[in-house]
Structure 1
Amino acid sequence: MLLTLAALAATLWRGVDDPRAALAFGALIAVGELSRWGARPGEREPAPLAAAGALAYALLGENAGHTTTHGVLQTVAVSVAGGLAGIVPHVARGRGPDPDHLARRVLTVGFAALCFQPLYNAGTVAARLGHGPSYALFLLLLLLLTALCDAVLAALLHRARTGHPYGPLLREQLRALPGIGSAVCATGTVMALGVAVAGLWALPVFAVPLLLTQVSYRRYAAVRTTNRQTIASLARATEIAGCTPPGHARRVAELSRAVGRELGLSGSALTVLEHAALMHDIGQLSLVDPVEGGATALLPAEEQRRIALLGGAVVRQTGVPAAVAVVVERQADPYRDQPLPARIVRTVNAYDDLAATTEGGGLGALERLRLGTARDYHPDVVESLARVLARGGATRGIAPVPPG
């Protein structure tokens, strides 16, 4: 907020340097924000055109051969103005961006401009690197540093919001950089170089590929939403049939995802874990006699394994990825033979079952889990579950457990 206010005040006081370029880049950023759509809570915002346009303006040294002098504060002011113009329709429809995302955008663009504009305006870049390949590599290096800055900020904000460990969150952000992050950085560099040679007419040419990227993301997001709704509906089948208590699958899925993050899972591995947790009890639909209360954790080991295999067979018939079926099938194996997602699902499912039937509730359930760490529940998963619950299980609709 302070950086934004300072940038807007300084730009209004001194006037806008090269208004045509400022308007063109501001319009590009606004169009990018208008086309933004599809991110789930906590994910990186899919607005590559807006991000690339803002970074290109931050690294713009020349416009059609004429040296620019817009500086750091005007760069931030134009990026903020274009972004605000683009998000107004989203806010009107109740789909405004996360304030954390806006703060990251301002700080990231300010960082890129601060690294480039003072050096270029002082003549240091031209004197040392000229305008050949070394100059392009210099821009790519600055964009790489900017991407790392954005990843660090994103991980810090996510940790402050959720309390998850910082290391896995940072690794998840860094893993996302080679994908859309590399496209944003490369396009930002090419835009800045193109405008330096051809002028502002280069902007529409380089904007088209990223607009197509955002259209593709919309289709991908729609398919992903449909898949998740299908899986959630299948998971509710056990509740509708009276095989499991209401909300059991949802609670296990949300808590499993939190424990998975605690243990360093991210990206597609977390998605597989969440889907397997939602469908972990679907094997009960194949039973002639339903389990009393749906609490499979209280059954003998062989019966648990039989239900797990039945569930895996059902999952394989639904078209869900095979990795989800593997987790469902192996959730009842001894933990030394299980993959990590299966260990998590087994432990969290047992916690939810035992918390409802054990004297002492959550604390009693955790004590039972710790007593079972010799064979049934992995000690690291149990302790991660305890930390997640103590830190804020109540925010996920799950009864918290006091520390200790």
Structure 2
Amino acid sequence: PTTHGVLQTTAVVCAGGLAGIVPHVARGRVRGGDRGPDPDHLARRVLTVGFAALCFQPLYNAGALTGPLGTGAPYVLFLLLVLVLTGLCDAVLAALLLRARTSYPYGPLLRDELRALLGIGSAVCATGVVMALGVAAAGLWALPVLAVPLLLTQVSYRRYAAVRTVNRQTIASLARATEIAGCTPPGHARRVAALATAVGRELGLGGSELTVLEYAALMHDIGQLSLVDPVPGGATAPLPAEDQRRIALLGGEVVRMTGVPAAVAQVVERQADPYREQPLPARIVRTVNAYDDLAGEGAGAALEALETLRLGTARDHHPEVVAGLARVLARDGLPGVTSVPTG
């Protein structure tokens, strides 16, 4: 039997989180550092634990759990149910926070968070159940013993994240090869990747789909390195369809040699196909690339470029992608656009 309630449980978690932040504060990594904690993340964790404690502690203290359920399988199933509800609560809060920061559509963000629950989230929840049962059987000594797998998981996750960061930096550096060679304007690949990712989120893509889209957008012009005569200004949108398709196929061959996922090469290869035959990532790369080729520095040029894309929806660009691009530009204020007709 226990006497502590929801407030004490939440206070202990809050104190532990604040204690964990101290080393990062000393190193100046609270916000913006490579590995520093996020205060919003800590607040979310405290709220999530408070939710779990509210679902469990009053019933346990009153004896309403161990009495009817006992300490066998029904009790374990109840703990799993509480953890599933807690995971859902955490996913909802995480998606809300990211929505507030980025203004991305809430549905895809929540879907990404729910997908994460099936991976590391399920492992953490299972460890929580084992900890609760282990402490009841072996006392508080079970906590440090059972925390070791979590620490090892955290170290592995940090290494995995570092590898992914290095991989993305390598792809971004390779994408700059077209700029260094004078085939494309400076910053073209980066702008297309950032805008294509935003449009992908607007249209409901998430998780690995966004990663493939970003990589393909970064490397969409890599095929120009195989050309004998560079494209004037690096703009491929005004080229004939045959030339665009040849550059796309050459780019796909180069991308396959870099070791990135095959889906990235497929998107690069198909960006010049008729849009009705393209997958959604290829449609997005094609439209955003055309926008960046056509848009200038001012809002007027950006509006003119969007109007050109809208007029091309019958043959060259998917109407939904053009509409999504217009919404992103209007909402985020990219290239000076504050109000965009979606036609």
Give the TM-score category using the shorter length.
over 0.9
Pair 1:300-2:240 in alignment: yes
2:8 counterpart (67, 74, 78)? 74
**Equivalents in 2 of 1:368, 1:302: separation in Å?**
20
Look up the match of 1:309: 249
2:200 counterpart (247, 260, 266)? 260
TM-score (norm 2): 0.94
SS at structure 2 position matched to 1:296: coil
1:131 counterpart (59, 71, 75)? 71
Q: What is the deviation of 1:359?
A: 9.5
**Equivalents in 1 of 2:125, 2:29: separation in Å?**
26
* Ranges in structure 2 where 5+ consecutive residues have no aligned partner: 31-36
**Equivalents in 2 of 1:106, 1:400: separation in Å?**
39
Q: What is the deviation of 1:402?
A: 1.1
Per mean C-alpha deviation after superposition, the further-off stretch among 363-372 and 213-222 is 213-222
Matched AA of 1:137: L
**Equivalents in 1 of 2:107, 2:115: separation in Å?**
12
SS at structure 2 position matched to 1:70: coil
**Equivalents in 1 of 2:138, 2:324: separation in Å?**
56
Look up the match of 1:318: 258
Look up the match of 1:104: 44
Instruction: Render the CA deviation track for 1:53-95: whole Å, top value 9, x for unaligned.
Output: xxxxxxxxxxxxxx22221111111111111111111223232
Preserved contact between residue 155 and residue 166 of structure 1 (Cα < 8 Å)? yes
Instruction: Render the CA deviation track for 1:117-145: whole Å, top value 9, x for unaligned.
Output: 11111111122211111111101100100
**Equivalents in 2 of 1:127, 1:359: separation in Å?**
69
Q: What is the deviation of 1:227?
A: 0.8
SS at structure 2 position matched to 1:298: coil
Look up the match of 1:120: 60
Per mean C-alpha deviation after superposition, the further-off stretch among 197-206 and 94-103 is 94-103
**Equivalents in 2 of 1:91, 1:328: separation in Å?**
43
Aligned residues: 335
SS at structure 1 position matched to 2:329: helix
Backbone CA RMSD of aligned residues: 1.5
**Equivalents in 1 of 2:328, 2:26: separation in Å?**
36
Pair 1:400-2:334 in alignment: no
Pair 1:380-2:320 in alignment: yes
Higher relative contact order, chain-length normalized (CA < 8 Å, sep 6+): 1
Look up the match of 1:343: 283
Of all paired residues, the percent bearing the same amino acid is 82
SS at structure 1 position matched to 2:140: helix
1:86 counterpart (20, 27, 30)? 20
Q: What is the deviation of 1:328?
A: 0.6
Question: Where do 4+ consecutive residues of structure 1 move more than 4 Å?
Answer: none
SS at structure 2 position matched to 1:356: coil
Pair 1:274-2:214 in alignment: yes
Change (3 A) 1:170 1:120: same
Instruction: Render the CA deviation track for 1:24-58: whole Å, top value 9, x for unaligned.
Output: xxxxxxxxxxxxxxxxxxxxxxxxxxxxxxxxxxx
Matched AA of 1:400: V
**Equivalents in 2 of 1:212, 1:363: separation in Å?**
52
Q: What is the deviation of 1:374?
A: 1.0
**Equivalents in 2 of 1:75, 1:95: separation in Å?**
27
**Equivalents in 2 of 1:358, 1:365: separation in Å?**
11
Q: What is the deviation of 1:321?
A: 1.3
**Equivalents in 1 of 2:297, 2:340: separation in Å?**
21
SS at structure 2 position matched to 1:373: coil
* Equivalent residues in 2 for 1:2-401, closer than 5 Å: 67-96=1-30, 97-356=37-296, 360-394=300-334, 398-401=335-338
Preserved contact between residue 76 and residue 106 of structure 1 (Cα < 8 Å)? yes
SS at structure 1 position matched to 2:260: coil
Look up the match of 1:17: none
**Equivalents in 2 of 1:347, 1:357: separation in Å?**
18
**Equivalents in 1 of 2:80, 2:43: separation in Å?**
23
SS at structure 2 position matched to 1:332: coil
TM-score (norm 1): 0.80
**Equivalents in 1 of 2:47, 2:298: separation in Å?**
50
Q: What is the deviation of 1:358?
A: 10
Q: What is the deviation of 1:360?
A: 3.0
Instruction: Render the CA deviation track for 1:267-291: whole Å, top value 9, x for unaligned.
Output: 1111010000000011111111111
